[in-house]
Chains A and B, each alone.
Chain A
Amino acid sequence: MGTGRRYLFILLFVVGLVAVSAVVIASKQTKLGLDLQGGLELVYQGQATGAGTEVTSEDINDSISIIEQRINKLGVSEPEVARLGTDEITVSLPGITDANRAAEQVGSTAQLFYYDWEPNLIGPEKAIGGSPGREPPEGPRKASEKRWEEAGRNVTSEESKQLIFAGAYPTAYEAAQLAAAQEPAKDCSECSVAKPRYYLFEKAEPHELIAGPELAKKDLYISPTGKKRPKDGIVVEVPAGTILVSEYPTDQEGKLDETAEPGWFALKDKPALSGNEITEPEQTYAPTTNEPVVSFKFTDSGREAFQEVTRQIAQRGQASAIGPVGAEEAAALSGHFAVVLDNEVKTRPIINFAENPDGIDGREGAQISGGFSSLQDAQDLATTLQIGALPINLKLISETQVSATLGSQALHDGIKAGIIGLSLVVIFLLLYYRFLGLVASIALGAYGVIFFALIKLIPITLTLPGIAGLVLTIGVAADSNIVIFERIKEEVRAGRSMASAISAGYKRGISTIIDANVVTLLTAFILFVLATAGVKGFAFTLGVGTIVSLLTAVVFTQALLGSMSRSRLLRSPAALGAGGEGRRWHVDFLGASRWFFSISGVILLIGGFALATKQLNFGIDFESGTRITVALQKPTDEEGVRETLEGVGIKGEEVQQVSDPNFGDNVFQIQSHQLEPGEVHNAESALITEYGVVANGFESTSVGPTFGEQVANNALKALIFSLLVICGYVALRFDPKFAVPVLIAIFHDILITGGVYSLTGKEVNSGTVAAFLTILGYSIYDTIIVFDRIRENVPRMPRAAFSQIVNRSMSEVLTRSLATSFSTLLAVGSLLVFGGATLQDFAFAMLVGIASGTYSSIFIASPVLTAWKEREPGFIRRRLRIQEVEGGQVPAYADDIEMAKLGRDDEPEAAAAVAAEEPAAEAAPGAVATAERTGDGGGNGAGSLTNGDTEAAAAASAERRARNAERKARRQARRKHGRR
């Protein structure tokens, strides 16, 4: 495929991709994280129980499945239950406002009990369904059928008949009335629930069940998602010792038909055994028929209880039979053993007295067979049975409740910061690169559309740190363009034709971009694997964004510029911002670096003293504790809030009045030791009673010590792994000696940022850790831009001292380095100014880190590399030869004429090498000094002889310009000739 066709294909591909992305954006919803839409996030840690000593992967997966089932009952839309690390589970519940109840319902194990069915039936139920295999008495049966008809149920359907013959009530309300009429149990030590429970029914007939069971009457009137329920409903209290259960009819295959309406029973609450007494429930196959069955084992007490209850059921069945009976008749007469999960009969198998006259011996466990229409049914029941017998305890280690109003404000701020950041970068690109800037802006636009579509399509849950990652990738995408554009400008200034300059610019820039982006990707990957949930969102966005930016900022812009390279638009170098000679830095960077070293040293000393005396202000992510933000209706002060909290037993908290753009000045931030979910709920109730809380004006975060410790450990691991992997990459791609200055520059940047955090007292949280690790990636990104040019110039300058190579390289890339840093700073700066509180914290660390990273790559990493490389024998020899020619000094810049003289110099290198064997005499005063007289002893020599504004340098420059003009004229003449 020809170049033109390839470019056309790429352009069409990207345009098509943008069009498809636009459709995706228009048709798909963005999945917002809890921090942006409000809700509750719970993090549980699995802990081994009983005989188990460790939490297995299977335990966690089973628990996730169980929690998902429980959440479905809360009526939460789009909940997320995911594994976190090896033994943790994170549960996200958007829209949940009652954290206390949700946490209780999600975290507690389900209520699983086993009942000897018939003896526990009450009243008319018992009269109808209490004697299996017998026709129910006519009176109670007809009364029951009447009830079913009055409730609007079809009494002739098979499902209804089944339930009527079992003795069920057609509505929960009627069964609840029966239950409510029972006397409270005097001794309820073996009940499934030892307290009365409350149900709320509609006032109007047929009195539909609205809510319940609840242990507190007030909980009936508000759902866990904050939805208010009618106050005028009928409340029924079911006393301790009686429970209300529902049962779905079974279909022809014996499978529960959950699409049908259930029947209701009031039962005596005397379970034979509980879910805690069974172990290892699993789906297996019957050895003889190979049908799916559910088998389980018992604890010692469970085995005895199971044997006893099944024996009683079998004996009752036997007693009801007259004479010997066949297997089929025995099955009809046999009593039932009911498995009741969360007040719902899940299965009610018979205990066939013909097969098990003495009950079932539980030593080998037991199994439930028959009635499974598919393998999945049996697996589902096995999972259901596990609910009451979780192999692990779930300990709540972190709880975050985000107000929907504050979440929506955070989203608004994040979007605003992103748009402003993008606009600033576009304006900068247009002003500085003119036509190239326009191309880059089109690429940025394409990048934004494709990336946003990917966010919706994957879908990536968009969180606040994710938005930070997104804004940062705008800077990274612009960086890639800047790296290439500066190359193109250099090539144009060197006299190349536009097409050739574009081709060369991309060819030479691509290795730098790949190196820099690989480093960013490595950082993102390590963060994603090791960091906590919030930071993962940032890492994922950063990683995906970096990959997309390679497509739009490199492949797309190359195709765009390549197609237009011969157009009128690109005829003038000025259109690219490449008019004139361009900015040529001619500073002795290495000579000046000792002063920059001193500045860094002083900053670090201040940072060291600040860290020693003020330490870091670690947030609750690390230190554990609870933070509550509450917007009150009635005005009060910090003391008033403190007193209210002390009234509910919450003492030793810090209360601070803050201002919030949504809620005004009557907002308080409370920070205390870690509070249990119940305590947070109490605090909220007390504040509501005393001052009233603005709608959606309550937020809380609780982090346990385990979670805090884990965040810190993960951060440390991520830091160490990132350093190792990235240094390994630099050592492989460049030279092992290049990795050490990179490492030193990273330490420099992270420590300076740490010092600034200590001095300013800003809080360090898990977002700051992400920012620190991104600084690490960015610092290397910037250093790689400089080192890449050094690597390129080493073979080009075979006679120059290493310091001269580095000075030349830095003068060539300084504009590029400053431009890339500036574009990233524009994006990060918009986060700092417009991003809202959370993003501002993140952006602050990034801002300090990026500024420090740019500085250290030029003034720390390169001088250290120079000082180290200059000790290599080859460079010592070069240095000595230059000193001989230059009268004992090494100019800051290798002059072309002087280099030519060195090239003609016949003096053998061996002599210089001998001289190099005596370094003690020539030891330079200062490791990074580059322009000094040998044996000069004192003085720093920085810059005094080095600026290169010598006549020779000017003459060389003029000569170069003349050569370039001549080459350009020749090329133009050739093109003109070709056209003719």
Chain B
Amino acid sequence: MALVVFFIMGIALWHFTVFLPDRFWQGIVGAFLGAVLGSIVFGLIVQEASGKSLGDTDLSTALIAVPGTLIGLAVVYAIGMRSEQHPA
């Protein structure tokens, strides 16, 4: 269930990237991947570190996904900026 929560939070936050300049690597689809992967990977790490099982969810499970999503989005945005500045 924790995985579903991470996933839904990642997708939910991704929706708000339409207010940001479109400089993500691969655009809105890249942002989608960044948000989802960020929330899941970060969420799994924190969940594992806190000793909770994937079946246990509470408010913190949803909150954990927020920094993960932001990190994922930031990484994809940075890659996009970098490829704009240094086109192949």
B21-A604 in contact (CB<8A) = no
B28-A868 in contact (CB<8A) = yes
> Is B88 in contact with chain A by the CB < 8 A criterion?
no
> Which stretch in A115-123, A314-322, A541-549, A923-931 binds the other chain?
A923-931
A612-B61 in contact (CB<8A) = yes
Which of B9, B17, B20 is in CB contact (< 8 Å) with A608?
A: B9
B18-A605 in contact (CB<8A) = no
B57-A611 in contact (CB<8A) = yes
> Is A475 in contact with chain B by the CB < 8 A criterion?
no
> Which stretch in A70-78, A435-443, A659-667, A747-755 binds the other chain?
A747-755
A924-B15 in contact (CB<8A) = no
A928-B18 in contact (CB<8A) = yes
> Is B12 in contact with chain A by the CB < 8 A criterion?
yes
Residues B1-32 near A (CB distance < 8 A): 1, 4-5, 7-9, 11-24, 26-29, 31-32
Which of A594, A613, A744 is in CB contact (< 8 Å) with B59?
A: A613
**In the complex, A607 Cα to B15 Cα: how many Å?**
14
Residues A929-946 near B (CB distance < 8 A): 929, 940
**In the complex, A864 Cα to B19 Cα: how many Å?**
13
**In the complex, A741 Cα to B58 Cα: how many Å?**
30
Using known A-B contacts A604-B8, A740-B29, determine if residue A616 contacts B1 with beta carbons closer than 8 Å.
yes
**In the complex, A597 Cα to B13 Cα: how many Å?**
10
Tell me, rounded to whole Å, the shortest Cβ–Cβ distance linking B30 to chain A.
9
**In the complex, A132 Cα to B59 Cα: how many Å?**
84
**In the complex, A601 Cα to B14 Cα: how many Å?**
8
> Is A920 in contact with chain B by the CB < 8 A criterion?
yes
Q: How many residues of A contact B (CB 8 A)?
A: 40
A594-B27 in contact (CB<8A) = no
**In the complex, A613 Cα to B56 Cα: how many Å?**
10
Which of B15, B57, B87 is in CB contact (< 8 Å) with A604?
A: B15
**In the complex, A616 Cα to B19 Cα: how many Å?**
32
A923-B57 in contact (CB<8A) = no
> Is A919 in contact with chain B by the CB < 8 A criterion?
yes
Tell me, rounded to whole Å, the shortest Cβ–Cβ distance linking A806 to chain B.
14
Return chain B residues, CB-CB under 8 Å to A754: 4, 8
Interface of B is mostly: helix
**In the complex, A438 Cα to B53 Cα: how many Å?**
58
Return chain B residues, CB-CB under 8 Å to A615: 1, 57
**In the complex, A607 Cα to B12 Cα: how many Å?**
9
A923-B19 in contact (CB<8A) = no
Tell me, rounded to whole Å, the shortest Cβ–Cβ distance linking A776 to chain B.
16
Return chain A residues, CB-CB under 8 Å to B19: 594, 925-926, 940
> Is B48 in contact with chain A by the CB < 8 A criterion?
no
Contact with B along A751-765 (1 / 0, CB 8 A): 100110000000000
Residue among A597, A612, A747, A867 with most chain B CB within 10 A: A612
Return chain A residues, CB-CB under 8 Å to B13: 601, 605
B59-A609 in contact (CB<8A) = yes
> Is A27 in contact with chain B by the CB < 8 A criterion?
no
Which of B11, B18, B23, B58 is in CB contact (< 8 Å) with A612?
A: B58
A867-B21 in contact (CB<8A) = no
Return chain A residues, CB-CB under 8 Å to B31: 927
Tell me, rounded to whole Å, the shortest Cβ–Cβ distance linking B37 to chain A.
14
Tell me, rounded to whole Å, the shortest Cβ–Cβ distance linking B34 to chain A.
13
A921 to chain B: closest residue by CB = B84
> Is A189 in contact with chain B by the CB < 8 A criterion?
no
Using known A-B contacts A604-B11, A611-B57, A744-B32, determine if residue A593 contacts B18 with beta carbons closer than 8 Å.
yes
> Is A279 in contact with chain B by the CB < 8 A criterion?
no
Contact with A along B51-67 (1 / 0, CB 8 A): 00000011101100100
A751-B8 in contact (CB<8A) = yes
Tell me, rounded to whole Å, the shortest Cβ–Cβ distance linking B13 to chain A.
7
Provide a sorted-by-A list of 30 A–B residue pairs whose CB atoms are within 8 angstroms.
A594-B18, A597-B18, A600-B15, A601-B12, A601-B13, A601-B14, A604-B12, A608-B8, A608-B65, A609-B62, A611-B5, A611-B57, A616-B1, A744-B11, A744-B32, A747-B7, A751-B11, A754-B8, A864-B32, A867-B28, A868-B26, A868-B29, A923-B22, A923-B23, A925-B19, A926-B20, A926-B21, A926-B22, A927-B28, A928-B18
